[in-house]
Amino acid sequence: MLAFYNEHHAQHRGKHEMFRGALVAAFEKPERADMVAAEFGRRGLGNIVTPHGVPLTSLEKIHTPRYLHFLRNAWSEWLALDPDNAARDAFPSVWPIRGLRVDVEPDNFAAKMGLYSMDSGTPLTAGTWIAAKTGADCAVNAAHALRLGERGTFALTRPPGHHAGADYFGGYCFLNNAALAAQHLLDDGADKVGILDIDYHHGNGTQSIFYQRSDVLFTSIHADPTCEYPFYLGHADETGDGAGLGYNMNLPLAAGSSSSTWFAALETACYKLAGFGADALVVSLGVDTFIGDPLSHFSLQSGDFLRVGERIAQLGPPTVFVMEGGYAVAEIGINVVNVLEGFETAA
């Protein structure tokens, strides 16, 4: 398997995040990708390469130019407010709730942060843009490699992406790597692309981006959003809108669900994807479904992730895996690479 590695990922290193009313050490940390890269290399699963840079026009097929402009310049604006901000991460403090205007971009930096964000747990740092942009490069390169004959590829990157919408960040995510990979596959000639999101948390950004489209089928297995982040999207009755009606499937599960319940949901998602007949598949590979994850409440063991990879391979299409969540750092390398090894063995 060909893995595209984000050599700049560690430039995004949040100091803190807001969690349950307190500032705590950031859960989304560089060691996550380091552990995966080390395990991938240890098993000799394939080559690890760096991506070619992709133009901003590729990102604009998923994200709005206004939002991209903000991300590229946010840190400079933060420093311009106060040079001492160099030692602080930037967080939003206000948001445009229902009924307030979002069409006019404020001049005030704090107001801009609120306009383009969905939570106070996603620190913006000096290296956020370069880390996120190189991660997007990884995802697009991994998608393009399928056209060149690869059966499966892996975007080994952080920060993750599936919570990022067309014009907002949150959930540790800034650019939606899975959506960018799917769009590139379509641009490369695929008629239909399937997305399977197996992160513990619903991929609200990915759903929103493709919700009115029929060329992408989004399927997601995740914790019930009435109790778990992102809270405001991910319910079973969200099935698409307009041309996209029927092309969105959410399979929310109660916190504490057993591995057998989770695998039954995987079968449902795979049945839907098989009927769609996608030319290619994108997997949002979150392993925070692991029983030892500090932010999640599912019950998968490390060995279960081999089965996950095997089942995905049985779907048939060439597949891009994009790294998402997983915060049990000591085990993340084993869990992610187990999925990839299961896929390679079955494929």
Task: Find tokens 């705590």 and name the residue.
Answer: 24
Per-residue pLDDT, averaged over 213-233, amounts to 98
Q: Are 188 and 218 in contact (CB under 8 A)?
A: no
What pLDDT score does 20 carry? 80
Per-residue pLDDT, averaged over 218-229, amounts to 98
What CATH number corresponds to the domain at position 230? 3.40.800.20
Parent domain of 146: 2-63+130-346
- The answer to whether position 76 is within a domain reads no
Based on the residue annotation, tell me whether 163 is a catalytic residue of this protein.
yes
- The answer to whether position 92 is within a domain reads no
The pTM assigned to this predicted structure is 0.98
Q: Using CA atoms, how far apart are residues 257 and 253, in angstroms rounded to an integer?
A: 7
At residue 19 the predicted structure's pLDDT band, cuts being 50, 70 and 90, is confident
Q: Which regions of 63-151 does DSSP assign to beta strands (E)?
A: none
Q: What is the DSSP letter of 244?
A: G
pLDDT tens profile 258-309: 999 999 999 999 999 999 999 999 999 999 999 999 999 999 999 999 999 9
Q: Which residues pair with 323 in a beta bridge?
A: 285
- The answer to whether position 277 is within a domain reads yes
**Average per-residue pLDDT in the chain?**
97
Q: Which residues contact 230 (CB under 8 A, 6 or more apart)?
A: 118, 163, 170, 171, 201, 202, 204
At residue 18 the predicted structure's pLDDT band, cuts being 50, 70 and 90, is confident
What pLDDT score does 101 carry? 97
Q: Which residues contact 259 (CB under 8 A, 6 or more apart)?
A: 298, 299, 300, 301, 304
Per-residue pLDDT, averaged over 12-40, amounts to 94
Q: Using CA atoms, how far apart are residues 75 and 9, in angstroms rounded to an integer?
A: 16
Res. 161: pLDDT tops 90: yes
What pLDDT score does 157 carry? 98
Express as a percent the part of the chain with pLDDT over 90: 98
Q: Using CA atoms, how far apart are residues 102 and 115, in angstroms rounded to an integer?
A: 7
What pLDDT score does 66 carry? 98
Q: Please give the distance of CA 234 from its chain centroid, rounded to a whole number.
A: 15
Q: Are 248 and 213 in contact (CB under 8 A)?
A: no
- The answer to whether position 191 is within a domain reads yes
Catalytic residue among 162, 163, 202, 222: 163
Vertex 15: Cα angle to 14 and 16 (nearest 5): 95
- The answer to whether position 82 is within a domain reads no
Q: Using CA atoms, how far apart are residues 102 and 95, in angstroms rounded to an integer?
A: 10
Per-residue pLDDT, averaged over 220-244, amounts to 98
Res. 6: pLDDT tops 90: yes
Domain tally, the chain: 1
Burial of residue 97, with CB atoms counted within 10 A of its CB: 0-12 exposed, 13-18 middle, 19 or more buried = exposed
- Phi-psi map region of 251: left, alpha, beta (phi>0 left; psi -120 to 50 alpha): beta
Instruction: Mark out the alpha helices in 245-325 (DSSP H runs).
Output: 259-276, 304-314
Per-residue pLDDT, averaged over 177-182, amounts to 98
Per-residue pLDDT, averaged over 250-258, amounts to 97
Q: Which residues contact 108 (CB under 8 A, 6 or more apart)?
A: none
- The answer to whether position 254 is within a domain reads yes
What pLDDT score does 178 carry? 99
- The answer to whether position 71 is within a domain reads no
Per-residue pLDDT, averaged over 20-46, amounts to 95
At residue 23 the predicted structure's pLDDT band, cuts being 50, 70 and 90, is confident
- The answer to whether position 78 is within a domain reads no
